[in-house]
């Protein structure tokens, strides 16, 4: 997928913009607060239906306005006209004039990989952040995964409810939760094997130490079925009122020299590792679906020295997919085919080359 044209109305400090993009790397430079991250936010909203910067509408809409309007012309096997209108209470998305009722449908059309200054959270915070990363990857390559996940979470909620309200009925739900959880984990583990291989390839391509690796914890004992462990843990679960084991407790582990990758290494090294993880997922999505993800990289140069910056940019260019890279200072011509340089100041976008 590549975005050919983007129109924005009343998004943060951008009153109105109409921008043409390259199919290659689009470099966007501007001072802090100029609106460069807002361009990435607009693309993200068209692909996910929401902002990556806030869950609230107030900071997104321009002061004095009530509606954010976005429109893009994108190309895959054909042209797609994607429109989004967002208010404080509604989100309306249309593709080629037809309303989209499920945001997952638009996410399939426009797969995204986004790296921001907050991407370190995948290393530093809890397993739920890493599970979320895994789930988006699996979602794009296994189309029935999302429905299976919803069924599992519904059954899990029911078991948790019964643990607190009617423990005598819990045994019948051990089997249901167990079967759904095993099916869910089988898909995740199959994806993980391929992600691990792709990640190692990106570690090598980015000239990172080869003692960086991925690990997977499925959320219960490896040598037992989930149903068996649910039965074993049932007394504890009843006592505490929630389910302690299952895919909802899984974790994607990023290991450097035998320990967690967020301890004992620099922020720049962390950024390169996280970039390798996202590029690996982008590669899997492209190989499995034929749809090239769009890469959004907010403030790429922060925390990276010149050598690592150049290595990362060269690798992104090697992917041959569309990318958007922001920085406070212009990065200058890289000699890439189809590269485009844009400048933005006070919400006004201008072409710099």
Which is nearest to 24 in space by CA: 350, 315, 278, 340? 340
CB atoms within 10 A of CB 284: 21
Structure tokens belonging to residue 311 = 């290595």
Return the DSSP state at 250: -
Please check if 37 is assigned to a binding site: yes
348 forms bridges with which residues in the sheet? 345
Please check if 34 is assigned to a binding site: yes
Please check if 172 is assigned to a binding site: no
SS3 203: helix
Reported as type and span, the H/E element at residue 288 is: helix 267-289
Residues in CB range of 25: below 8 A, 6 or more apart: 313, 316, 317, 322, 323, 324, 325, 334, 336, 338, 339, 340
Structure tokens belonging to residue 240 = 């505490």
Sheet arrangement for strand 112-115: 112-115, 294-297, 323-327, 25-29, 340-345, 348-351
Please check if 32 is assigned to a binding site: yes
Distances (CA, A) of 279 to 43, 135, 152, 207, 242: 18, 16, 29, 14, 36
Please check if 334 is assigned to a binding site: no
Residues in CB range of 334: below 8 A, 6 or more apart: 25, 313, 317
Please check if 33 is assigned to a binding site: yes
Residues placed in the known binding site for ATP? 30-37
| Binding-site annotation, residues | 30-37
């Amino acid at each position: 997928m590549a975005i050919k044209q983007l129109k924005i109305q009343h998004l943060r400090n951008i009153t109105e913009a109409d921008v043409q993009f390259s199919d290659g790397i689009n470099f966007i430079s501007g001072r802090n607060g100029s609106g460069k991250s807002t361009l990435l936010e607009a693309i993200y909203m068209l692909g996910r239906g929401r902002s990556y910067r806030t869950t609230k509408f107030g900071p997104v809409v321009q002061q004095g306005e009530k509606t954010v309007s976005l429109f893009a012309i994108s190309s895959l096997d054909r042209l797609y006209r994607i429109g989004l209108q967002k208010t404080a209470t509604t989100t309306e998305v249309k593709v080629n004039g037809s309303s989209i009722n499920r945001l997952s449908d638009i996410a399939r059309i426009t797969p995204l990989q986004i790296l921001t200054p907050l991407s370190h959270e995948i290393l530093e915070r809890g397993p739920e952040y890493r599970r979320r990363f895994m789930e988006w990857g699996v979602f794009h390559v296994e189309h029935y995964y999302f429905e299976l996940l919803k069924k599992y979470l519904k059954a899990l909620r029911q078991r948790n409810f019964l643990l607190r309200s009617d423990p005598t009925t819990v045994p019948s739900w051990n089997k249901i939760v167990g079967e759904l959880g095993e099916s869910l984990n089988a898909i995740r583990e199959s994806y993980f094997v391929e992600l691990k291989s792709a990640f190692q390839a990106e570690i090598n391509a980015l000239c990172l130490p080869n003692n960086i690796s991925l690990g997977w914890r499925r959320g219960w004992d490896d040598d037992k079925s989930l149903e068996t462990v649910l039965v074993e843990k049932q007394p504890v679960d009843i006592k505490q009122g929630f389910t302690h084991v299952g895919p909802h407790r899984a974790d994607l582990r990023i290991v450097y020299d035998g320990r967690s990758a967020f301890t004992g290494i620099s922020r720049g090294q962390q950024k390169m590792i996280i970039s390798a993880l996202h590029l690996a997922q982008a590669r899997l999505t492209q190989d499995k679906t034929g749809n090239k993800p769009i890469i959004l990289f907010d403030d790429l140069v922060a925390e990276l020295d010149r050598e690592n910056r150049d290595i990362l940019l060269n690798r992104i260019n090697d992917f041959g997919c569309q990318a958007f890279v922001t920085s406070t200072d212009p990065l200058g011509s890289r000699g890439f085919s189809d590269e485009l340089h844009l400048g933005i100041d006070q919400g006004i976008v201008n072409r710099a080359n």
